[in-house]
Structure 1
Amino acid sequence: MAIIIARHNPVIFKTQAIQVQAGPELLRYTPVGDPLSFEQMLQLRQPIQVDDPTQFELTLANLGVSADITFHWQQRDFRLLVRQQRPDRGDEVLKLLSGYVPAHELRLPLLTLMTELAEELLLETGQGWLPGRYQEIWLPTPYADTLPTDPNRWFHLSPHQGAARAVLCRELNLLERPRAYVHLPTNSLQLVYHMHLSVPRCADLSALHADESLDPQSGQLQAELDWQHPDLYLAELVDGEFNGQLFTLIKGELVAQQPNQVYLSEAFAHQTGWVVADEHCAWPSTSAAP
């Protein structure tokens, strides 16, 4: 059963183009130009090419940010993914929790990611919904009016496996050391923050993803939650690699899923230097599982 957990008027999204200077050991990005609306940004997201994937300078349409979250449950390791249909690219992918970075947060993209995680990563127990913390910082609670929180417990996100190469916004070094790549098909810079999710002991944990869409009648954005289609997936890892097993987590039980005609997003495609050239990559066959 699906319910609407939030309604609000669309916020006027503004961002800026991103000038990137990349070298073998460091990538620096600088917001440039006039503010861009969402539609203007999309118009700039056209395929590009670079001659040398390790060293270049160019201007990109936007900055995107993602969370690569690992999770240990029932003595097994998983990565959290969400499903996304992409009609403009003609595919359906399993992807990281992610979002576009607005202009006022381009220097601190982790703030954008915290908002995205608060809105999209929903963990339910029998005593309520778990609020979240990143290190010592509480995440926002955008659905507090409709989803009562567990008063005594919370989930915790911690930094995990920072990238070896530095990323700077102008002169500001991003201390969390996200992985950075330029995605050639969308003319964008993507930052991936590696995190680990810890949860309190609870036998009835459910993991769900809230999906936001535009209501054509009211013109409002509405966030919807559907227990029949939780849409937050646990992809099992063995030695850090996907083994082809995919699950949802409902009331403490892992429920096996069969991904049909689905790909992994470009975040998992081969990276050369600072560059990812593929739209997506294949979901591993379960025959590869031990």
Structure 2
Amino acid sequence: MKKKCLRREPADHFRTRRVSLEQTVDGWNIQPVGQALTFSELQALRQTGKIERKGNTQIFANLGVSLQLVIKHKDRKALALVQQRDILKLVSGYVPEDQLDNPLQTAWAELMEEVLSVSDKGLFGFSVAEEVLPDPYQLQRQNWLPVLKAPFIGSLSEENLTFSGRSTEWPVNFYIHHETASLQLVFPVTIEVPDDVTLIHAEDEISESGQEVLSIFDPECPAILMELDQHSMPTGKLFTLNSGEWTLWKPGQAKLSEYFSGPGKQLSRHFLD
């Protein structure tokens, strides 16, 4: 496996909108607010850390989505993390404007973009309810691994949450990241991977010109596995998975993302110790 660019996109293609969170009789509803924002405008808004309040409604800079992705392999399991610079985080991303009413689409796109499952049989993709998830890189996939619903681990539990009145039909919860005034969704999933698998994280980076976003496949950039015990609690060890072998991984200066100081706090205590 060699390092290569899987996709190029104009850096200014992304658009999103602010979102409101309102408590309803049955739960919570999220819906878009205001005009479309460019990525630069979004970042400027997030840096203010300002959450607006109008009565019982809160208005956030943006909507983000994360996957609580539990990997099962050879009678072991782990929470999958990806490394972005010196931060270890859940598979996650910003929800674009056209998916704010159905952010589960964004979650599936991030899964396909960020986690590459490679074995001697080739590259695997993912499927949900026997529906193949679209391949953002147009690569040749040898097979498709089922993505299944899973219980939440940590302090989260399923919420009745709708998006402009629509349900995702998938377990979901949310938390507020106050520093960036953002509303963050979490969807719990589990995937059983082949015995001989290697898990690679494909990372997006800005080109030298600043005009493009490049999706880079680097075999030296693995997905990081936070091993879980039979009660779905961390064992205190991090691993990579290469050709079916679990290799102990040392975090060095890497830190856990804001999720692990919020709803995932009880998952992080072994790591921080």
* TM-score, with structure 1 as normaliser: 0.82
Q: Which of 202, 216, 228 in structure 2 is aligned with 1:237?
A: 228
Q: Secondary structure in 1 aligned to 2:110?
A: helix
Counterpart position of 1:65 = 65
C-alpha offsets along residues 136-170 of structure 1, whole Å, 9 cap, x if unaligned?
2211123334xx322xx321111112643211223
Q: Which of 172, 197, 208 in structure 2 is aligned with 1:216?
A: 208
Identity of aligned residues (%): 28
Tell me by how many angstroms 1:56 deviates. Answer: 4.5
Counterpart position of 1:29 = 30
Counterpart position of 2:163 = 169
CA contact (8 A) 1:262 1:283 kept: no
Structure 2 CA distance, aligned partners of 1:208 and 1:49?
A: 36
Structure 2 CA distance, aligned partners of 1:283 and 1:68?
A: 14
Tell me if 1:42 matches 2:36. no
Aligned runs of 1:7-156 on 2, under 5 Å?
Answer: 7-10=8-11, 12-22=13-23, 26-45=27-46, 46-48=48-50, 56-85=56-85, 92-145=86-139, 148-150=140-142, 153-156=143-146
Tell me by how many angstroms 1:281 deviates. Answer: 9.1
Query: Is the alpha carbon distance of 1:264 and 1:287 closer, same or farther for their aligned partners in structure 2, counting shifts above 3 Å?
Result: closer
Q: Unaligned 5+ residue runs, structure 2?
A: none
CA contact (8 A) 1:124 1:205 kept: yes
Query: Is the alpha carbon distance of 1:286 and 1:222 closer, same or farther for their aligned partners in structure 2, counting shifts above 3 Å?
Result: closer
Tell me if 1:196 matches 2:190. yes
Counterpart position of 2:180 = 186
Letter in structure 2 aligned against 1:22: Q
Structure 2 CA distance, aligned partners of 1:33 and 1:50?
A: 13
Q: Unaligned 5+ residue runs, structure 1?
A: 86-91
Query: Is the alpha carbon distance of 1:35 and 1:48 closer, same or farther for their aligned partners in structure 2, counting shifts above 3 Å?
Result: closer
CA contact (8 A) 1:266 1:281 kept: no
Tell me by how many angstroms 1:252 deviates. Answer: 0.7
Structure 1 CA distance, aligned partners of 2:82 and 2:103?
A: 20
Counterpart position of 1:246 = 238
Structure 2 CA distance, aligned partners of 1:237 and 1:61?
A: 34
Q: Secondary structure in 2 aligned to 1:112?
A: helix
Counterpart position of 1:88 = none
Tell me by how many angstroms 1:13 deviates. Answer: 1.1
C-alpha offsets along residues 46-75 of structure 1, whole Å, 9 cap, x if unaligned?
324799xxx942211000011111122222
Letter in structure 1 aligned against 2:250: Q
Structure 2 CA distance, aligned partners of 1:143 and 1:127?
A: 19
CA contact (8 A) 2:260 2:267 kept: no
What value does the CA root-mean-square deviation take over the aligned residues? 2.7
Counterpart position of 1:260 = 252
Q: Secondary structure in 2 aligned to 1:115?
A: helix
Query: Is the alpha carbon distance of 1:254 and 1:216 closer, same or farther for their aligned partners in structure 2, counting shifts above 3 Å?
Result: same
C-alpha offsets along residues 164-207 of structure 1, whole Å, 9 cap, x if unaligned?
321122322332131111211110111100001123xx442100
Tell me by how many angstroms 1:218 deviates. Answer: 8.0
Tell me by how many angstroms 1:24 deviates. Answer: 9.5
C-alpha offsets along residues 66-102 of structure 1, whole Å, 9 cap, x if unaligned?
11111222222201001123xxxxxx32111011011
* TM-score, with structure 2 as normaliser: 0.87
Structure 2 CA distance, aligned partners of 1:161 and 1:287?
A: 24
Structure 2 CA distance, aligned partners of 1:282 and 1:93?
A: 16
Tell me by how many angstroms 1:283 deviates. Answer: 4.4
